[in-house]
Structure 1
């Protein structure tokens, strides 16, 4: 072969290799841009309270469902609060189905305290962070479900079990007009759900966090009463004095629980947390408060969270006897009180060991996707999962965000784009495992008995 021929041959090979690179790389890059663009579009819809734009979010989700050829229906248990339910029918629809749940609403923002506009969903090209309200809590998960299904459909995967995807309203204000009504509905009964996934938390470490239960809220208001008196007079049993005694008692209890966490003896979700959220007292005046009048009433509100491993009855006795005793002219009421027990008197928890095949499948699927797993946890706050656990459905909290600071409800909430993309692949692995599983049908009743 002549030198000229060799050069031509070498040039031809180089061109072929370049074309191969372009065929492989360019579509991949385009696909990633499209995935991130869809996430940004969802984040840019302002669904923050008190006026979430639910209908715009619903329209977006429905457009995505159409592009994926998923069945869809819009449910309104309460007017103007649409719940979107999508369905990917499995080859054996008689098997218990899979429910992937997420909420469309987000908490309010203080835009002037953000370094990036909270609904621009801008990507910082230096570090790859996507800054937006809902990037962690929890629009990421809702879109990751759909992107995972897109990848599975592109690979011609056919689920054995039916997969449902629900996008519910109002989680951030209790879920009463969303998930709670959904879980109690005839529509939900007909879905024959065998396992449900909901939100978890970001992990600052390189492992993912899995939640098998959550703390239940007890929102307590303590009220003290007493005779009004001159601001200079000293006398016993004033409203303010009695309330301060209660606040100090609550503070000591809080410190004892917090010490267990600080010492590493218990996780945050395993202790009873108590935080004072308001203090109301005094006699208003045109310039503020009357300074020479001791008030006849004083109130304080507390956000209490109780794990299902705690003795809730003992805590209620403590409230009645120590924090708000009638002997000190005190009363109390619960603005909300959720029991840690189901209707059979058992703690509301999902099995989180080999006795629950769904848990084992989830762990194996995460490991298969090169993820790491931390110790099973109790979610420190409340999620919509509680309404499904009350129905006896195994429910697991999981948001695939490792190496990520916990910023839900915080300023400058963000999720790194690489972490978001990796989470999609994790869900691909999970859905493959869940949707192909055939042995759980005969054990479903046993799982529910264990809850």
Structure 2
């Protein structure tokens, strides 16, 4: 580009810079949050490297040790470290994911990657799920360092890719790596959910995914012919059986007998059948194949084996020319056959420390819950490491994966204070003997 061309474009660059500056809040804490939200890390093409550069710049400003790991090419995992005074003690891991789900921009009242603040609310994809938590970790550390706090235990902060598409190239590989083994993690904090009232929500387990595809087969036939065991007839019978099961589970929640995370959820996510034609589908031909997909989530307190028998015998019986397969299936049990969950009673000192820290920050919390969906925390629990799901968002509508996702700026700032209290409690947890630490982990 010639110097003349550059000078011609200079007013445009200046206007662009001024426009970006004007969209940022006056508070540098909120500015940093907005800058992170403005990085488009939505699937299917998340800008992971730009997010990584931003996190690394924040780490540098906080004098944190940093490491970039790519278990899979172009999917960087950023691992930060604040060394403790006693590196032999089990460490604390603060986990978050950098990716977000896709958006339909025309259905948003504010641009989904602008981080605009309107009526005190910060609108952006990731404002609740979960860029807020990742930045709150760093802001709480910024405050603790400013107060000259020195952690007894080492604190790690991980920013991980691919959580929104299953986490197999992110947390799964990380939790099963030599890197993780060397960290000697004693407790993991990961994401939770917003709470519509004043009490924070704390999660000790989560429902495990069983993504099911049911297929039906039958002889093709003329669109006017009536005969038994058509593919569509058999599939619709199964859909109705599944619908009744779903309704029974949902009724338990509606009646207040169980929380959402305590029942098996089933939702049909696709229905596929028919013979395509240039104008749509062939209308006078009954298809020989039909299939439906279901997103099933199973809590660790459920009988997963019984559910699988139900699928084979009732939902997709071979007697009706039905077959099924799991696109993804995670066991609710660990390798020793125990439910995958974190103790949330007196046997778990981390849980008591968390509750005490929230109280100290003058906030409230509800009873322990099972997370209704799936998070990266499951991979750490599978390794036998206790993990707690927590996102400090009270008085907030649950908008993760929804249009117009937002978080109130005051709730965001209060969440930083809460994490500051939590990290101070966790990182100051006094030394136990190695034997005691191992006993606690085995019990959890």
- Given the two structures, how large is their TM-score scaled by the length of structure 2? 0.93
Q: Which residue of 1 aligns with 2:137?
A: 145
Q: CA deviation at 1:224?
A: 0.5
Q: CA deviation at 1:439?
A: 4.9
Indicate how the Cα distance of structure 1 residues 40 and 223 shifts in structure 2: closer, same or farther if over 3 A, else same: same
Q: Distance in 2 between matches of 1:395 and 1:338?
A: 17
Size of the aligned set, in residue pairs, is 420
Contact 2:42 2:100 in 1 (8 A): yes
Q: How does 1:5-16 map to 2 (within 5 A)?
A: none
Indicate how the Cα distance of structure 1 residues 365 and 152 shifts in structure 2: closer, same or farther if over 3 A, else same: same
Contact 1:357 1:440 in 2 (8 A): no
Q: CA deviation at 1:438?
A: 1.5
> Is the partner of 2:213 in helix, strand or coil?
strand
Q: Distance in 2 between matches of 1:111 and 1:281?
A: 30
Q: Distance in 2 between matches of 1:343 and 1:198?
A: 22
Q: 2:103 aligns with which of 88, 106, 109?
A: 109
Q: Spell out, residue by residue over 1:2-39, the C-alpha distance to the aligned partner (whole angstroms, 9 max, x if none).
A: xxxxxxxxxxxxxxxxxxxxxxxxxxxxx970100000
Q: CA deviation at 1:232?
A: 1.0
Q: Distance in 2 between matches of 1:239 and 1:293?
A: 12
Q: CA deviation at 1:446?
A: 2.9
> Is the partner of 1:404 in helix, strand or coil?
coil
Q: CA deviation at 1:443?
A: 3.6
Q: Distance in 2 between matches of 1:386 and 1:371?
A: 27
Q: Which residue of 1 aligns with 2:236?
A: 244
Q: 2:200 aligns with which of 187, 196, 208?
A: 208
Q: Distance in 2 between matches of 1:182 and 1:175?
A: 10
Q: Spell out, residue by residue over 1:186-212, the C-alpha distance to the aligned partner (whole angstroms, 9 max, x if none).
A: 010000000000000000010000000
Q: How does 1:266-345 map to 2 (within 5 A)?
A: 266-345=258-337
Contact 2:186 2:441 in 1 (8 A): no
Q: Which residue of 2 aligns with 1:20?
A: none
Q: Which residue of 2 aligns with 1:46?
A: 40
> Is the partner of 1:222 in helix, strand or coil?
strand
Q: 1:444 aligns with which of 429, 437, 441?
A: 437
Q: Which residue of 2 aligns with 1:100?
A: 94
- Given the two structures, how large is their TM-score scaled by the length of structure 1? 0.92
Q: How does 1:31-430 map to 2 (within 5 A)?
A: 33-124=27-118, 127-430=119-422
Indicate how the Cα distance of structure 1 residues 201 and 243 shifts in structure 2: closer, same or farther if over 3 A, else same: same
Q: Distance in 1 between matches of 2:83 and 2:323?
A: 54
Contact 2:213 2:324 in 1 (8 A): yes
Q: Distance in 1 between matches of 2:284 and 2:259?
A: 46
Q: Distance in 2 between matches of 1:190 and 1:271?
A: 37
Q: Spell out, residue by residue over 1:388-421, the C-alpha distance to the aligned partner (whole angstroms, 9 max, x if none).
A: 0000000000000000000000000000010000
Unaligned runs of 5+ in 1: 1-30
Q: Distance in 2 between matches of 1:225 and 1:285?
A: 20
Q: Distance in 2 between matches of 1:248 and 1:149?
A: 52
Q: Distance in 1 between matches of 2:186 and 2:432?
A: 8
Rg larger for = 1
Q: Spell out, residue by residue over 1:121-170, the C-alpha distance to the aligned partner (whole angstroms, 9 max, x if none).
A: 0111xx21000000000000000000000000000000000000000001
> Is the partner of 2:419 in helix, strand or coil?
helix
Contact 2:112 2:123 in 1 (8 A): yes
> Is the partner of 2:364 in helix, strand or coil?
coil
Q: CA deviation at 1:449?
A: 2.6
Contact 1:272 1:307 in 2 (8 A): yes
Q: Spell out, residue by residue over 1:365-410, the C-alpha distance to the aligned partner (whole angstroms, 9 max, x if none).
A: 0010011010100000000000000000000000000000000000
CA RMSD of aligned residues (A): 1.2
Q: Distance in 2 between matches of 1:440 and 1:166?
A: 25
Q: CA deviation at 1:450?
A: 3.4
Q: Which residue of 2 aligns with 1:4?
A: none
Contact 2:89 2:431 in 1 (8 A): no
> Is the partner of 1:120 in helix, strand or coil?
coil
Q: Distance in 1 between matches of 2:436 and 2:92?
A: 15
Q: CA deviation at 1:444?
A: 3.1
Contact 1:261 1:267 in 2 (8 A): yes
Q: Spell out, residue by residue over 1:92-117, the C-alpha distance to the aligned partner (whole angstroms, 9 max, x if none).
A: 00000000000000000111100000
Contact 1:394 1:447 in 2 (8 A): no
